[in-house]
Structure 1
Amino acid sequence: MGLISLLWGMFALVWMILALIPLLGWGNWFLIPFAAVGAIIAAIGLLFTRSEHSGRAKAGLILNGIVIVVGIVRLSIGGGFI
């Protein structure tokens, strides 16, 4: 679960960088739910793995959380159109 959430977060991060380009802000409307699913997968991974093996799940949770926050800020600034 940790590896899946980490890869999910990396893909979401690339998507977030593309959505920062003007006129591609509409991508944030799809990015935020996508990253939320990744954060849920990471949380499940944290619950079911031992503490010494939960590094990937923690990284995935942090990465998806950052993507969600930046996506929300970007939508609040431009409304998703610019």
Structure 2
Amino acid sequence: MLNLLSILIGIVALVIVIPAQIPFLGWANWIALPLLVIGIGLGQLSFSNSGRNFCLIVGLIAVVRLSLGGGLL
């Protein structure tokens, strides 16, 4: 159950991260990162690793985009 919840949180964060790849919308990644941390925590508590790994991949995309934009843009 926690794994399914982690995947759902990851999907919501992915919906936020995808439009944040457009220039000047990078600030939306800062909204997605706390969601991803919650998803990673829930995925860690579950017996399966797929939800945690999905949230880690989405988080990596968000962090790379933030680092390329200087952390703001």
Identity percentage of aligned residues: 40
Q: Post-superposition shift, 1:80?
A: 4.0
Number of residue pairs the alignment of both structures matches = 72
Return the alpha-carbon distance in structure 2 between the equivalents of residues 60 and 79 of structure 1. Answer: 29
Q: Post-superposition shift, 1:76?
A: 0.7
Q: Which has the larger radius of gyration?
A: 1
Q: Which has the higher contact order (CA 8 A, sep 6+)?
A: 1
Q: Which residue of 1 aligns with 2:26?
A: 25
TM-score computed with the length of structure 1 as normaliser? 0.78
Q: Displaced runs of 4+ in structure 1, greater than 6 A?
A: none
Cα RMSD after superposing both structures: 1.3
Amino acid at match of 2:26: G
Structure 2: where are the runs of 5+ without partners? none
TM-score computed with the length of structure 2 as normaliser? 0.86
Structure 1: where are the runs of 5+ without partners? 47-53
Q: Which has the higher helix share?
A: 1
Specify which of 37, 56, 59 is matched with residue 65 of structure 1: 56
